[in-house]
Amino acid sequence: ESVVNRIAAGEVIQRPVSAVKELVENSLDACSASINVVVKDGGLKLIQVSDDGHGIRYEDLPILCERHTTSKLSTFEDLQGIKSMGFRGEALASMTYVGHVTVTTITKGQLHGYRVSYRDGMMEHEPKPCAAVKGTQIMIENLFYNMTARRKTLQNSADDYPKIVDLLSRFAIHHINVSFSCRKHGAARSDVHSVVTSSRLDAIRSVYGVSVARDLMKIEASDNDPSSSVFEMTGFISNSNYVSKKITMVLFINDRLVECGALKRAIEIVYAATLPKASKPFVYMSTVLPLEHVDANVHPTKREVQIFLAVKYYNCSCLLANDIGLLIHL
């Protein structure tokens, strides 16, 4: 049984960056205002995510890392609605099958926190009282220690740290009311360091730099059929002054960070056709879309989604940026 669990867990947590994504999403779900990530050896030695969210109740600690344990669904409708992204109640459990997980947490009004370690879905010992300020810190040590082949493959390729920095950058420009930091273990300075702001453009400037932010224009689209449910898209796309060899596409659907290959390719094609320069675009898009139009089953890790942008929403086309007449035909 443990081998089966480990294989299943290895599917959910494919690389260090997948673990970081799950942990940060949990911190966001816990209403954190500040999320700090520390990584050692590309995440293979250590991933540590600390937040100042609502914490985990003492009585929830024993089952925290059991599969399908989640505090986020209460009704069947929730379950249907949430088919969207992520693995409900599987992320933390999975991590305990492929790494050593230690949780330190304190809930509001408590005098001290608790620390507990998990392995293979279970607590290794009773939660121990400890000093804690606010929120939760989750540490994953020795990821894939029991998956020799996976570990070797990861060790032989470039490590995940740049991917983790990229991930945190994406979160930071979407969740502008949360401050994020990310650094290597032992490093004095952070590689991502965002501060809370009310301006998306300021956030992009602080994370991606002035050279990106100054060449962006606002994009907006919405559902003009009042009888249907909400569809809204807002964001930024680079203008003709922008020069980059690679595309950056940051896409959030209903506040979940996702990939959408089809949309990315469509934007790339239209961008190339519209702008004479051989530059790849920078795009940030945040879309609110009824879940029946998102099919999250395209890729087993559910990072990749397919958007069924029905005629109803887009009239077959999405006006992305009036200024340069970028029309995305899907």
Q: Which residues bind ligand ADP (CB under 6 A)?
A: 22, 26-27, 30, 51, 53-56, 64, 69-72, 86, 88-93, 136
Minimum distance from residue 64 beta carbon to ligand ADP (Å):
5
Minimum distance from residue 295 beta carbon to Mg ion (Å):
20
Q: Is 104 in the site for Mg ion (CB under 5 A)?
A: no
Q: Is 103 in the site for Mg ion (CB under 5 A)?
A: no
Q: Is 26 in the site for Mg ion (CB under 5 A)?
A: yes
Instruction: Please tell me the distance from the alpha carbon of residue 23 to that of residue 236, in angstroms, as a whole number.
Output: 27
- Tokens 């087993």 locate to 300
Q: Three-state SS for 21?
A: helix
User: Residue 72 touches which of Mg ion, ligand ADP, none (CB < 5 to 8 A by kind)?
Assistant: ligand ADP
Considering the complex, state which of residue 89 and residue 113 has its C-beta at the smaller distance from Mg ion.
Answer: 89
Q: Is 286 in the site for Mg ion (CB under 5 A)?
A: no
Considering the complex, state which of residue 27 and residue 279 has its C-beta at the smaller distance from Mg ion.
Answer: 27
User: Residue 95 touches which of Mg ion, ligand ADP, none (CB < 5 to 8 A by kind)?
Assistant: none
Q: Is 91 in the site for Mg ion (CB under 5 A)?
A: yes
Minimum distance from residue 53 beta carbon to ligand ADP (Å):
5
Instruction: Kindly indicate which of the ranges 19-27, 226-234, 258-266, 289-297 contains the residues binding Mg ion, using the contact rule CB under 5 A.
Output: 19-27
Span 146-165, contacts to Mg ion by CB under 5 A: none
Minimum distance from residue 70 beta carbon to ligand ADP (Å):
3
Instruction: Kindly indicate which of the ranges 83-91, 93-101, 186-194, 222-230 contains the residues binding Mg ion, using the contact rule CB under 5 A.
Output: 83-91
Minimum distance from residue 63 beta carbon to ligand ADP (Å):
9
User: Residue 42 touches which of Mg ion, ligand ADP, none (CB < 5 to 8 A by kind)?
Assistant: none
Minimum distance from residue 106 beta carbon to ligand ADP (Å):
10
Minimum distance from residue 166 beta carbon to Mg ion (Å):
20
HEC secondary structure over the chain: CHHHHHHHHHHHCCCHHHHHHHHHHHHHHCCCCEEEEEEEHHHCCEEEEEECCCCCCHHHCCCCCCCCCCCCCCCHHHHHHCCCCCCCCCHHHHHHHHCEEEEEEECCCCCCEEEEEEECCEECCCCEEECCCCEEEEEEECCCCCCHHHHHHHHHCCCCHHHHHHHHHHHHHHCCCCEEEEEECCCCCCCEECCCCCCHHHHHHHHHCHHHHCCEEEEEEECCCCCCCCCEEEEEEECCCCCCCCCEEEEEECCEEEECHHHHHHHHHHHHHHCCCCCCCEEEEEEECCHHHEECCCCCCCCECEECCCHHHHCCEEEEEHHHCEEEEC
Considering the complex, state which of residue 71 and residue 322 has its C-beta at the smaller distance from Mg ion.
Answer: 71
- What is the residue type of 25? E
Q: Which two tokens stand for residue 99?
A: 């790494």
Residues at the contact surface with Mg ion, assessed by CB under 5 A: 26, 91
